[in-house]
Structure 1
Amino acid sequence: MLLFYVAVLPLPVKECCLENFWQRLRKGIFPKRKITAVIRVVLHLGLVQGNLEPDQDECFRGPSPFTSLPVREEMIAKYSNLPLESHNISLTEHSNVPVEKNITLKRPSNIQLICQFTTSRDLNSVNVTWKKGDELLKSDVINATGNILYTQYTFTIINSKQMGSYSCFFEEEKEQRGTFHFKVPELHGKNKPLITYVGDSTVLMCKCQDCFPLNWTWYSSNGSVQVPLDVQMNDKYVINGTNANETRLKIMHLSEEDQGSYWCHAVFQLGESEDHIQLVVLSYLVPLKPFLAITAEVVLLVAIIMLFEIYTQKKKKQQDEGKEFEQIEQL
């Protein structure tokens, strides 16, 4: 059986690789699945990170279809002092929609993702893969317990390029997918529009719960274009914050031209985040408009009533004069 596996390898192989592969197969490191699955493992044996020493990588030569983000074991060893975050997703053969999980990452971390798949069919018929977006990832950790198949992907996130969506795929009769979405913390401003008046001052605030951005920036926009607010060139604006996890923008001497959207932008180690606050600036006549409208309606109603009374009295007087004239004629 071993000769068959070696015969299908398209890459040059050294004796050290054959011996290494045989030892690994005897120890049960490779899952005993279909021949195609074993062949795939053998094809990339020299490229599975953490399984070979650096000098053994020369046993296999040629391009790999897998993506390294970057060399995982080297990254984990280098950043072993980083915290470890573990997240898992459970799938079944009856799942009708992909299962997704949103993960907020505040700082660089070592990540352990685990997917478990429950099926009533033969586990050897299930093909397991990992992807970041559309890129194929390397994962050689696959275990089975009863009718549950487990797969694990471990890596390190230290910059924004490593953020994004990581998915595990279980291919049986139909494909089942679980996806982990990594994102930086969200900012919290004011959900409702902030209403103020011409000539007043106002303070806009953005806050990040339990996180500390490296930098804060404010922008204004009346459309699709965001304009940075320069507090050095314009004394209309003052930016400060009492805590590192919040920022405040004070706008003085408001005019109607100041209304619009104001965006707070935070820079983190692993990416950027922003939120906006809608500012509405009203003139002092605006609150009086409803009162003036009601007053006008009352005046109009009183005028109509008075005119109706005058008309009624005039008509009654004419009727009385007509009756007197008729009485005089009869006499």
Structure 2
Amino acid sequence: MRLFPLQPAMVPLFLYGLLCVPSITPHSAGLEGTSQTFEKIEENEDNSITIHNLTISGLSSNDTKKNIFLDSPVHLQLECIFNANTSQLQNFNVTWKHGDEEIIRNLYQDNNTGEWRTTLEVFVADVNRTGNYSCVFSSTSETKATFHIKVPPVLDGGKTLVVYNGDSTILKCNSSIYKPVEWLWYKVSGNEQVLLNVSSKFSKYKQVNKSASVTKLNISDLAEGDSGTFVCKAVFKIGESEGQVHVKVLSLMGPLKVFLAILAEVVVLVTIILGYEMLSKKKPSEDDEKSEEEQMTQLKSEENGEASTTRQRKV
């Protein structure tokens, strides 16, 4: 980390929270060709400058990106390095942008390496100074490098917990290596977020902050009315971020109703099967009885016929 003294002409810009300083001397900061996706920046209490840089290989290269997460105010120097041969390029220039707003044009050549460099100094004091800072190199075509300056995200959000009426549960959120000034818990009601009362000893909600970067919400004696979305909000010195945890409270009668419905279907199915089997057995029995009766009738008629023939012979 290097110290850069401020020139008197730069003071008004610094007071507005944004410094754009073209340098005429080579920088010895390390080069980075790819973005680092999760990097912590500490607060600069000594007004020193934290340097971040990105390298662009040429106008035909893909856009380069880097995430910078800040939990405290910090003075940043953003640097883009263009190391392609520009001798054949026409109207080669660079533009810095914050979002879609053009900030400054600043381009110089490193006398030692021959690389083209552009720098932007910005004091990130609040959430308005976060966002995307891009250096855009253009000639016959265009390429850019973008620094994404963000408030740290809240992790462990987006989960859905399924619990039962009368149970207790614990909701958890964390901010990884970053330390919020304060954690707040809310319950979503319609389009609003209602701050939970976690300080009263009679409240069913109890907040436990195991460490500065971890918060937990204990909910006791859950009821179906507790179903919904809970929001954990991390308050940092330069802004806020939040995560959500979804809770679904089921009545004990819910699973019982499902069980009874399945049981009723099984009973009906078994009854139908048994009834069909009984009918199937009963039908052959009736057929057998009819067959026996027909045989007896036939035998009687034959006997009667034989008896009549015998009488006729005697006569």
What TM-score range do you get, normalising by the shorter chain? 0.7 to 0.9
Of residues 74, 95, 100 in structure 2, which corresponds to 1:109?
74
Percent identity, please.
Answer: 37
Distance in 2 (alpha carbons) for counterparts of 1:117 and 1:53: 27
Q: Distance in 1 between matches of 2:120 and 2:18?
A: 13
**1:281 is matched with which residue?**
249
Tell whether the 8 Å contact from 1:263 to 1:275 is kept in structure 2 after alignment: yes
Query: Is the contact between residue 93 and residue 118 of structure 1 (CA under 8 Å) also seen in structure 2?
Result: no
How has the CA–CA distance of structure 1 residues 84 and 296 changed in structure 2, closer, same or farther, with 3 Å as cutoff? farther
| 1:198 equivalenced with 2:165 (yes/no) | yes
Whole-angstrom CA distance in 2 between matches of 1:237 and 1:94: 56
Counterpart in the other structure of 1:18: none
Instruction: Please tell me the residue identity of whatever aligns with 2:251.
Output: S
Q: Is the 8 A contact 1:189 1:207 kept in 2?
A: yes
Q: How far apart, CA to CA, are the structure 1 residues paired with 2:138 and 2:101?
A: 17
Unaligned runs of at least 5 residues, structure 1: 1-48, 58-63, 74-78
Aligned-residue offset at 1:89: 2.3
Q: Is the counterpart of residue 269 in structure 1 residue 237 in structure 2? A: yes
Who wins on radius of gyration, i.e. which is larger? 2
Moved more, 165-174 or 122-131: 122-131
| Letter matched to residue 106 of structure 1 | D
Find the aligned partners of 1:82 and 1:292 in 2 and give their Cα distance. 70
Figure out how many residues of one structure are paired with residues of the other and give that number.
268
- Counterpart residue type for residue 266 of structure 2: V
Q: Does 1:95 align with 2:61?
A: yes
User: Which of 208, 211, 229 pairs up with 2:178?
Assistant: 211
Deviation, 1:274, is 0.3
Matching residue's letter, 1:186: P
**SS state at 1:242 partner:** strand
Correspondence for 1:154: 121
Shift of 1:231: 3.2
Q: Distance in 2 between matches of 1:237 and 1:150?
A: 54
Distance 1:222 1:80 in 2: 41
User: How big is each residue's C-alpha offset from its partner over 1:29-72, in whole Å with a ceiling of 9 and x where there is no partner?
Assistant: xxxxxxxxxxxxxxxxxxxx9566589x9xxxxxx9xx963356
Output the amino acid matched with 1:81: D
5+ residue gaps, structure 2: 22-43, 300-315
Give the aligned residue type for 1:86. I
Partners of 2:164 and 2:190 lie apart in 1 by 21
Q: Residues 129-140 of structure 1 correspond to what in structure 2 (within 5 A)? A: 129-138=95-104, 140=106
**1:202–1:251 CA contact under 8 A, matched in 2:** yes
Q: Which residue of 1 aligns with 2:277?
A: 309
SS in 1 for 2:211: coil
Shift of 1:312: 0.8
Matches within 5 A, 1:282-301: 282-301=250-269
What is the letter of the counterpart of residue 143 of structure 1? Q
**How far apart are 1:95 and its partner, in Å?**
3.0
> Per the alignment, in what secondary structure is the counterpart of residue 323 of structure 1?
helix
Q: Are residue 255 (structure 1) and residue 203 (structure 2) matched?
A: no
Q: CA-to-partner distance for each residue in 1:102-156, whole Å, 9 max, x for gaps?
A: 2111222221212123444426731112121233334646224777422222232
RMSD of Structure 2 on Structure 1 (CA): 3.0
Matches within 5 A, 1:34-73: 69-71=17-19
Amino acid at match of 2:109: N
What is the CA–CA distance in structure 1 between the aligned matches of 2:180 and 2:263, rounded to whole Å? 53
